[in-house]
Chain A
Amino acid sequence: MFSQCVIAFLLWSDDPRPQSPPMTLMESQLELARGDKVYLELGGGQIGVYLRGMQVKSLALESQAGFLGPAATVSRVDRLIPGLPQKVVVACPGCEDPSGGTGLDDRIGIEEMPANFLAVLDDGTSWLVLSESGWKPGSQIKSAYWQGKGLIRFLESLVVQGQGQYLFSRMKPESARALYWAIQPGTAVLRAEALSERGLLEEIQMNSEQVLVVLLMAISLICIWVLHRKGMPPRRRRRKWGH
């Protein structure tokens, strides 16, 4: 929420940012459908996983908000934070496979994919996917951590590339993991519809409980600081050297 307010402030000045030439949605769809790679389409309250123009999977969104360029824009995943989990086995001559040839010990399944992550797109978009919600303190801290990370990445893209776009998707944990599984660096992301700022407003309202938590945390910190100051001996005036 805080990061979104800051982003709103940063985007206050309506400066023209470089944008790719306009392309219709159908042209963009066709361009991607001609390839043999998996790509994503954002729109209609869902994230569609596509192959050759056919939707092979649909991942439901709980909410989505952001500041993005026009619809029908295609960008590619540059990197994922955190990166893909890896399991490396070093072959050892004469050693027996501890899994007995099943590979069960070293597999990486979908359940090991992160449910909160940041995808940095090649056009400078910071795409933050969060699945933590509710009142659990752990989930609030995790959510705040990832929102902070998203904000830093967004500011970085603003300063370094002179442009910054921000997309915030809230999903169920299993959908977020399936999304992480589906994308890899290089995966194309097509925005099938423009996001309205109304979405961000709704997101801010939805996250009002987070604001409360952050406020309570801030008040607690101030109280601790004040108590700490009261408990300290009065500061002595520093003696001036020389005459």
Chain B
Amino acid sequence: MSRSRAWAATAVLLTGLAGYFVMPPLASRGDDLTLPEERAERLRQELESLQPKGTYILIDTGANRLILKRGAEVLMEAVCSTGSRRTLVSGERRWTFETPRGVRQIRSKIRHPVWRRPDWAFLEEGKPLPRREGDRYMPGVLGDYALDIGGGYFIHGTLYTRLLGQNVTHGCIRLGDEDLEKLFRQAPVGAKVYVF
């Protein structure tokens, strides 16, 4: 590289750095970020009204943790299992086993739930789809309790307790027997469920 080119490159770099230091803050380009006090108060109230009232559930799908809270108080903390995020393909049909994130609520609480096996449960095991509806029902595999959070998703028990803490489910949230019983007793129908 010739000396003149080296000087030119240095000049370009220094100009850039000088520009960076003298550049006025982008954030202060005349944007008015203040609100009249009355309107600010109304917005504050509306924001507060969105906060959960009473008991609510937090489900961290990344850490596989479930927390039951009332206000800031933690009532219960448990290891759970959530969706595996894997995709099953069978011909034209496709399922991605993910626990959907967002806000849901407990719609109903069920004792001794019976699992109605969907198509993917058979296809995944390489079995043909049953001809009789009765062949889809399987008691005992969801534990003693289930909490319906809508969209076909439940918080329920599991036979695979050694897999708790891992992303292995088809979208439902699995809990150990003791934690499931505690949750069943303490979380009322209507309680908000925050899945993230």
Contact = CB atoms under 8 A, between A and B. Distances in A.
B26 A109 contact: no
B76 interface: no
Chain B interface mostly helix, strand, loop or mixed? mixed
Interface residues on B, range: 35 or more
A169 interface: no
Chain A interface mostly helix, strand, loop or mixed? loop
A182 B13 contact: no
Contacts of B168: 102-104, 107
Interface residues on A, range: 35 or more
A12 B17 CA distance: 8
Contact of A52 (B26, B29, B194): B194
A4 to B, nearest CB: 9
Contacts of B24: 14
Contacts of B38: none
A96 B40 CA distance: 61
Contact of B163 (A53, A104, A108, A196): A104
A108 B84 contact: yes
B58 interface: yes
Interface of B: 12-13, 15-21, 23-29, 31-35, 40, 43-44, 46-47, 50-52, 58, 60-63, 84-90, 97, 101-103, 123-128, 160, 163, 166-170, 192, 194, 196
Interface of A: 5-6, 8-14, 19, 22, 24-27, 29-30, 33-34, 36-38, 49, 51-54, 56-57, 67-72, 86-97, 101-104, 106-110, 177-178, 181-182, 194-197, 200
